[in-house]
Chains A and B, each alone.
Chain A
Amino acid sequence: MLPPLLLSLRVLLFAVPLLVLLGGGIGWLLARADFPGKGFVSLLVQLPLILPPSVMGFYMLFLIAGNPLLKSLGILFSFPALVLAATVSALPIMIQSARAAFASVDRELEDAARTLGKRERTIFRTVTLPLARRTLLVGLALSAARALGDFGVSLMIAGNIPGRTQTLPLYIYNRVETLDFAGAHAASLLLVGTGFASLYLVRRLEEGRNERRAAC
């Protein structure tokens, strides 16, 4: 069980920064920027949430395999494909949270900071980010849990190669196929534990936010 666990954690190690950057960035754009086709983009980025993972994975497989440049990168059926699969399936959750987080920050506070002589970068760091932080962390906890548990997309574009692309959820599937229920139980329990832990963290974060609000 150890190699799949370590592999899953390694995937998370790469997926989380991607989720922060991409999810946070797109969420910010959707909350704050005005651009043509914004409505369409916001629908598009939510698509992975409702599409069956096999469909999502199938299209990605098709897209990468059909593009000579992407194909030559050797992404498919390797570690980068796992990171890609985990990121894509968890991204909608992060985008949604980031969008809500940035939209909740009162624009007038940023305007106040502007009249107090601050630069945009400083304002983002000292006003916007601290005020959006809790909701961002909630989104990150939820999307990281989703990334850790990805099965369908990973299976489609990274395969299920023991020792190379077999993450914990894929390992469970294999254990069940070989009727090793004890191994499946152990791995499943681990994921249930992680799920609980991240939900608990989310609740703590949300409680903290509500307390802060109640104090206002």
Chain B
Amino acid sequence: MLHAEFTDSLGDFSLHVNLELCSETGVLFGRSGSGKSMTLRTLAGLRAPSSGEIRLDGRTLFSSSSRVDLPPRERKIGLLFQNLALFPHMTALENVAYALPPGRSRSEAARWLARMRIEGFEDRLPARLSGGQRQRVALARALAAEPKLLLLDEPFSALDGPLRRSLRRELREIRTETGIPILYVTHQIEDLCSLGDRVFVIRDGQTAESFPVERLWEKGARGEAWSALGWGNLFRGRITPCGEDCACRFEGERVSLSLDGGAHTPGESLVFVAPDKIRLLYPDLPIDPDLGGNLFSAVVEETTPLGGSIRLYLASEDGVLWQAEHPSESYQSLRLRPGSKVRFAVPPAAIESWSGGLQ
């Protein structure tokens, strides 16, 4: 079990981390620049925090009060770097063998490579491996050192969809087999949902909240959990029943939306729209009637590429900043740039609402 509570600063950025991780996969979720990588480096012992305490399985790795600061080599914490940090002058097998604790035979390294499904590539230098193979070698190397905790710093962010999925599956299997707790850093919601047991939200250098990942799927808690992640469009307002064509309407301070019938309770409530549900409209194509009347015109404020998709911040005419996520390929055909005008729709079926817990 990992217990970490520390503060640190770098220039005018300050970091305050509070984490408790049992034998599970924790996801440290936050935007770039929120202090995720710095947290991992501190846990691994590559940075000394200014104060605090880090304990792993009862061992004190760092404690400012009792002046303990174990060097990385004594911490038994594996770290998978974002750019993998494979040794370029060593073959795949040598890279993995390098990590073996003293006294182990090289055949063990070969077994790790086989476990990660990269037999036949043992003698290749990292430069001659594909992106996915390099990830597997790096993972095999991190595991060969027999860590008590495995930290991953967005290692799959450069890979495309199917590869990411297969590596995530691999990682889940490894977690189950070895029982090693894993702390996974990501800013991608996909990774979070498919890998994590528990989410630690980190915002501007502060670990703000932590909750089990299932909470994201619980009806009634979802929007708040999502909005704690800083992801999604959450509005507060009032649901009113209206005419026959649409069962209800949501009236917020600046946003009003047509809702699907049935699942919404009239009264004070919160509505949530997941960014990937927002549909950008192609200017020259007719609008799908199922999208209903929730059409908005907006200006693109900011675009953030996230691997297979792109995150857009859209400022609508009524002054609301919407978050949308869009597959990269179709995004390119739209040729959007900050400042471009765009029209988007919020499909009524994608709107969730709940009134529980509202005062």
Contacts and interface: CB of A to CB of B under 8 A. Distances in A.
Same complex origin of A and B? yes
Contacts of A2: none
A117 B99 contact: yes
A112 B85 contact: yes
B71 interface: yes
Interface in A116-132: 116-119, 126-127, 130-131
A111 B71 CA distance: 11
Contacts of A117: 73-74, 76, 99, 101, 145
B141 interface: yes
A34 interface: no
Interface centre among B77, B85, B99, B126 (most CB of A within 10 A): B85
B231 interface: no
B74 to A, nearest CB: 8
A114 B71 contact: yes
Contact of A112 (B74, B76, B79, B125): B79
A130 B157 CA distance: 29
B46 A216 contact: no
A180 interface: no
A115 B89 contact: no
Contact of A115 (B44, B101, B127): B44
A115 B141 CA distance: 11
Nearest to B151: A115
Given A114-B46, A114-B71, A126-B98, A216 B83 contact: no
A127 B85 CA distance: 11
Interface string B56-80: 0000000000000001111111110
B81 interface: yes
B331 to A, nearest CB: 30
A106 interface: yes
B98 A115 contact: no
Given A114-B73, A117-B99, A109 B87 contact: yes
Smallest CB-CB A-B distances: 3 pairs = A112-B85, A216-B127, A114-B72
Interface of B: 41, 44-46, 71-79, 81, 83, 85, 87-89, 98-99, 101, 125-128, 141-142, 145
14 contacts: A108-B81, A109-B87, A109-B88, A111-B46, A111-B79, A112-B85, A116-B73, A116-B78, A116-B145, A117-B73, A118-B98, A127-B87, A212-B127, A216-B127
